[in-house]
Amino acid sequence: MPLDMMVSPNHGFLKEKNILLDVIKTACNAGNWTIQHRTRFVYDLLCVVQHVEDWDNDTYQANFRYTLETIFGTWDKLINPTSQLLSSSYSFSFLKNCLMFQSLERLLQNKWKLPEIKLQHDESVILNRVYERLYSNLDITSEENDFEQRTHTDNDRIRVISKWKVQLTKYINTIDTDMNGAICQYLSYFQSHQKLFGDAWKAYQRSFHIWF
């Protein structure tokens, strides 16, 4: 990989909206890097850029957001499937999923609007993992009306079930005399509100078992 790619541009990564994307594209297709090196580089790069660039500059924020949205929405333009180490379907899928995860995670951390994701699509699993990572680091409590209040889109449903999965996991991993009762309470509530998932309930029920 060219050394100059590792050096910050004279005017920063966010002065123009394609600078950061060009660097990420080069990293994704570097012939002598492992898949792990590529994903780690992109992760570290996004983290560093957000912390060192002028975050009070609206243009910089807009360009960073554009980068994240482009990574998720047009990842196929960043990755060359014929490049070295990406010839196998596993390597290609792994890199693609990591890029999509990182972009969604940054969008969520900055409280920017997420792209709409359908329950039946593979991307729903990635968004589920992003929310799980978020909620696993938070002290969350049960909200009885969580479904009714904020589940208007598939993104909302993915968020809610991700939160409940984390809650259930924490109960399972905790020695508590009331643990079994709490687990039954959560699962019963989820079952009783299946109508809120509409025609997607069967697919979502299957996803719950797979994700969990």
- Of 43, 65, 99, the residue that ends a domain is 99
Whether residue 72 is found in the same domain as residue 140: no
Task: Print the domain residue range for 35.
Answer: 1-99
Number of domains in the chain: 2
Whether residue 59 is found in the same domain as residue 132: no
Q: What is the pTM of this model?
A: 0.77
Looking at residue 112, its amino acid is: W
The per-residue pLDDT string of the chain (212 residues; one tens digit each, 9 = 90 and over) reads 444 454 556 668 999 989 999 999 888 887 777 888 888 999 999 999 999 999 999 999 999 999 999 999 988 788 776 665 555 666 778 888 999 999 999 999 999 999 999 877 889 889 999 999 998 887 765 554 454 555 678 888 888 888 878 877 776 666 555 555 556 666 665 666 666 666 656 655 665 655 55
The angle subtended at Cα 206 by Cα 202 and Cα 207, nearest 5°, is: 115
**How far is residue 30's CA from residue 85's CA, in Å, rounded to a whole number?**
9
**How far is residue 151's CA from residue 107's CA, in Å, rounded to a whole number?**
19
Is 153 inside a domain boundary?
yes
Is 43 inside a domain boundary?
yes
Whether residue 123 is found in the same domain as residue 95: no
- The CA-atom distances, in angstroms, between 60 and each of 16, 65, 207 are 8, 9, 37
Is 111 inside a domain boundary?
no
- Of 45, 66, 99, the residue that ends a domain is 99
Whether residue 64 is found in the same domain as residue 157: no
User: Taking the CB of residue 171, how many other CB atoms lie within 10 A of it?
Assistant: 17
Whether residue 87 is found in the same domain as residue 139: no
